Amino acid sequence: MKVPPPPSGKVGLPAELSLQLLADMLRIRRMEEKCAELYGAGKIRGFLHLYIGEEAVAAGAMRALAPGDNVVATYREHGHALLRGVSMDRIMAEMYGKQEGCSRGRGGSMHLFDAATRFYGGNAIVGGGLPLAAGLALAAKLKQEPRVTACFFGEGAVAEGAFHESMNLAQLWQVPVAYLCENNLYAMGTALERSESQTDLCAKAASYGMATLKVDGMDVAAVHETALRAREYAAKKGPIFVEFQTYRFRAHSMFDPELYREKSEVEAWKERGPIHTFTARLKAQKQLTEERFLELDRAAQAEVEKAVAFAEAGTWEPAQNLTQDVMTPA
């Protein structure tokens, strides 16, 4: 497929916000690069799905949400959890399987949860989070709470019945939910045009009467502006579907030989990388110096080193606690 030109032009956000968004993306990138390394070293096991390349979506969207909002995510959710406010220490400890982890070692990479920030996981059944989000939004509506539910999912989920049932229910019930679709073009290894008769994702949501928006998911400024609009729409009017066009630079998981796409395509998308293109644009408009960039990057790396130390120092939950929390204690 044809790769669009890299995001360019003036960033219209306040300078301070732009730097925060850049810092957010760097925090995810450095954390996940370390995760890949730790996977190689056998410190992290199970499935590990990296978000590298897609950081602009979580960064731009998460800063558009209010503290009382609900967030539902997928198994590629390290970045979402981090930017929602789950500490990198607790995320890293979770990936190590330590009891200091944000799911006490029960969940791992795919199942990060945090009640304090209303982060409802870490759902590793494709499409599984969408009905949940409709229900969280229904509860908010019935209780007349001002919160919006933001539900992240990949474009692979649009093939699931859960997607269609949720679009219908959310629109029928007019609940405050923003369905945020991260279209990275591949459902594991299956390209969108190889799995969907209708590749226009917004058309699918629109067929349920739902409002839709589409934006370049590699442009963090555009993502943020669109996410703000989407949140406001969900809060005031009703459900909305947003397609973020993005791309995963790494393999689907650590077991993926990437037979389904050309290296040249990956390289072409890397030209559109959310971090370096945004950095260049901010530099061009004199809102960022190389020195400041390095400062932000060093801060992210220091946070990663601290998180790894925290995870290393973490403890294993005694196996006799195994059956705790299957049911709520009486």
d(C-alpha 269, C-alpha 263), whole Å: 10
**Binding range to another protein, per CB under 8 A, among 14-22, 132-140, 199-207, 260-268:** 132-140
Closer CB to another protein, residue 120 or residue 247?
A: 120
End-to-end CA distance of the chain: 56
Residues 98-117 that bind another protein (CB under 8 A): 101-107, 111, 113-115
| Binding of another protein by 142 (CB under 8 A) | yes
Dihedral sign computed on CA atoms, order 115, 76, 72, 121: negative
Question: Could you identify the residue written with the tokens 């789950």?
Answer: 86
**Binding range to another protein, per CB under 8 A, among 29-37, 55-63, 128-136, 215-223:** 128-136
Q: What 3-state class would DSSP assign to 268?
A: helix
**Tokens linked to 42:** 């056998």
Pick from 51, 96, 120, 153: which binds another protein (CB under 8 A)? 120
Closer CB to another protein, residue 65 or residue 169?
A: 169
Neighbouring CB atoms inside 10 A of 241's CB total 27
CB 62 within 8 A of CB 278: no
**Binding range to another protein, per CB under 8 A, among 4-12, 126-134, 215-223, 294-302:** 126-134
| Nearest distance, CB of residue 13 and another protein, angstroms | 32
| Binding of another protein by 121 (CB under 8 A) | yes
| Binding of another protein by 122 (CB under 8 A) | yes
| Binding of another protein by 150 (CB under 8 A) | no
Q: Show Cβ contacts of residue 263 under 8 Å, excluding neighbours closer than 6 positions.
A: none
CB 210 within 8 A of CB 181: no
| Binding of another protein by 153 (CB under 8 A) | no
Per-residue mark of binding to another protein, 42-81 (x: CB under 8 A): ----------------------------x-----------
What number of CA atoms fall less than 13 Å from residue 57's CA on the CB side?
A: 33
| Binding of another protein by 311 (CB under 8 A) | no
Pick from 52, 71, 88, 140: which binds another protein (CB under 8 A)? 140
- β-partners of residue 73 are 122
Please name which of 87, 86, 101 lies closest in space to residue 43, comparing C-alpha atoms: 101
**Tokens linked to 29:** 């990138």
Residues 167-206 that bind another protein (CB under 8 A): 168-169, 172
d(C-alpha 298, C-alpha 26), whole Å: 9
| Nearest distance, CB of residue 147 and another protein, angstroms | 9
CB 123 within 8 A of CB 150: no
| Binding of another protein by 95 (CB under 8 A) | no
Give the footprint of another protein on this chain (CB under 8 A).
Answer: 70, 101-107, 111, 113-115, 120-123, 125, 128, 130-140, 142-143, 149, 161-162, 165-166, 168-169, 172, 324-328
